[in-house]
Amino acid sequence: MTSPETPKTLEDRVIDLESHLAHQARVVEDLNAVVTAQAKLIDRLTSRMEALAGEIEDLGEAIEQHPVARPPHY
């Protein structure tokens, strides 16, 4: 590594840029994997939420069809 007083050669600067580019490419790949996994999870959760909303709606309709009556001992 060069000291701060020594100017870098063009080759050193290109090597530094290539190193930074490789690191950034890896970070982008890692972030893409995270985003893809989260999108799949969101899709699964959305499907489950829609199914549960349907079940709740069905239960609400069933309750409306069979109102709760007071027990005979009241």
Q: How many domains does the chain have?
A: 1
What is the model's pLDDT at position 3? 59
Note the pLDDT tens digit of each residue in 46-65. 999 999 999 999 998 888 78
- Asked, for residue 15, whether it belongs to a domain, the answer is no
- Asked, for residue 39, whether it belongs to a domain, the answer is yes
What is the model's pLDDT at position 68? 72
Written as one string, the DSSP assignment of the chain is ---TTSPPPHHHHHHHHHHHHHHHHHHHHHHHHHHHHHHHHHHHHHHHHHHHHHHHHHHHHHHHHSPPPPPTT-
- Asked, for residue 71, whether it belongs to a domain, the answer is no
Note the pLDDT tens digit of each residue in 6-43. 789 999 999 999 999 999 999 999 999 999 999 999 99
Domain hosting residue 53, numbered range: 27-63
- Asked, for residue 19, whether it belongs to a domain, the answer is no
Global pTM reads: 0.63
